[in-house]
Structure 1
Amino acid sequence: MRKLLTVCLGNHCRSPLAQVALTRRGGPAVTVRSAGLIGKWQDHPANPSMINAARRLGLDLTHHRGQQITRQDLDWADDLLAMDAAVLDTLHAIDDGRDAQKLGLYLPGRDVPDPVGQDESTFHDCAVVIEAGTALHIGPHRPKSG
């Protein structure tokens, strides 16, 4: 079974949406977790606007509770998928070169913009991009992360 970890800044919007979208696409062949670099949203539900955006795509984020990334998360995952370049840079620093081959952007060569502070349509657009990105990681033609 493949183990994926999606990571954003707070585990409040982007990485939780990626977790449920990848889980739906991958089914029993994958286990997906999400985490954030900061603990501000630890044990809190996902952002209400992202919950609504997820619902519009047939995804359920109502059970999500924020988690801050740990060394155990890094060790657990086969692939760590950062939502943007700043998150990826921080993951490289945290990882200290141990598992650099496991680290990559969720969208290779492109950030998933953080919708925090934006309107509902921005959250929806973000969710659509994340959901479409699942094909890059689960499916017959997925590239290796890195």
Structure 2
Amino acid sequence: MKRVLFVCTGNTCRSPMAEAILRKKAGESIEVKSAGIFASDGSPASTNTAHVLQEKGIECQHSSSLLTQDLIEWATCILTMTSHHKQAILHSFPEAQDKVFTLKEYVDSDGDVSDPFGGPVDIYRETYAELEPLIEKVLSKLK
């Protein structure tokens, strides 16, 4: 079974949103988790992340996780929100080189996923609109 790990900074906005979208679309066919390179364990998804997911009919029962060796080993594919996240992972976990990609790189696109942190709910809606088609492409590629 494919096991996808989404990684961002604090694991409260982009990566939990990507995790929830892929989980909803993939059902039981893919295992999905998320983590942050500077996350505090146990924080909920940001209020605006949960709000936007709820608007889209996606349940969000999220508790943040710091990226660990165990998560690196668990994942068959690690998708980061930015090139900075990718480089941070490769610096700390060089053995993961063959399975770490930026989300956009993985689906043959360029750039980073915009960070809505601290912005109004409309910015989170824009991030969702950016993530949703990327997650569709990830799902197609994994099947």
TM-score by length of 1: 0.90
Amino acid at match of 1:11: N
Shift, 1:99, TM fit: 2.1
Shift, 1:37, TM fit: 0.6
Could you say what secondary structure the match of 1:123 adopts? helix
Aligned residues: 138
Report Cα offsets for 1:46-79 as digits up to 9, x if no partner: 0001111111222122x10111010011111000
Unaligned stretches of 5+ residues in structure 2: none
Amino acid at match of 1:70: T
Matching residue of 1:100: 97
Unaligned stretches of 5+ residues in structure 1: none
Matching residue of 1:49: 48
The alignment yields a C-alpha RMSD, in angstroms, of 1.2
Matching residue of 2:116: 115
Aligned equivalents of 1:58, 1:116: Cα separation in 2:
21
Matching residue of 2:138: 137
Matching residue of 1:36: 36
Tell me the percent identity: 24
Matching residue of 1:125: 126
Corresponding residue to 2:67 among 49, 61, 69: 69
Which consecutive aligned stretches of 4+ in structure 1 deviate over 2 angstroms post-superposition? none
Aligned equivalents of 2:72, 2:128: Cα separation in 1:
24
Aligned equivalents of 1:129, 1:119: Cα separation in 2:
16
Report Cα offsets for 1:95-128 as digits up to 9, x if no partner: 12x1211000112222111101211110111012
Report Cα offsets for 1:8-52 as digits up to 9, x if no partner: 000000000111111111111100000001133x20110001111
Aligned equivalents of 2:58, 2:24: Cα separation in 1:
8
Matching residue of 1:20: 20
Amino acid at match of 1:110: G
